[in-house]
Structure 1
């Protein structure tokens, strides 16, 4: 699987990049909402997995339609 290629981030680095608490990052791992890797006793998050998680949560802005003139 190529998602594990690249840099592996610590839980603390992941939380910092998400601008959240470490607890939230650990909950993502516990609930298996983000891909992670065990390196011995340590847990690491592939940078590509973090980018995929962020991309999956992007909500695009809605462009308002122009109002038609009513008569």
Structure 2
């Protein structure tokens, strides 16, 4: 099945950001997009990849044993 192409407002809703942010990503070519005539469309899989690449994993630190009840 073909990947769904999202409009700029739909992509913005999916990421929870404004349309302006999506348009900036497109103009700076920081995200893949498709031109359909004068319209910009972004594949849903591209947004999934964008999210995956920018996901920051938590850092596990060793907790000090001081301050624990004996």
TM-score by length of 2: 0.84
Unmatched runs of 5 consecutive residues or more in structure 1: none
Looking at structure 2, the residues matched to 19 and 13 of structure 1 have their Cα atoms a distance apart, in angstroms, of: 10
Q: In the comparison of the two structures, how many residue pairs are matched?
A: 65
Alignment-derived partner of residue 44 in structure 1 = 41
Deviations 1:14-63 (A, max 9, x none): 11111111000100000111100011111100111111111111000011
1:31 aligns with 2:12: no
Looking at structure 2, the residues matched to 14 and 67 of structure 1 have their Cα atoms a distance apart, in angstroms, of: 44
SS in 2 for 1:28: helix
Decide which structure has the larger Cα Rg and report it: 2
Unmatched runs of 5 consecutive residues or more in structure 2: none
Looking at structure 1, the residues matched to 29 and 4 of structure 2 have their Cα atoms a distance apart, in angstroms, of: 20
TM-score by length of 1: 0.83
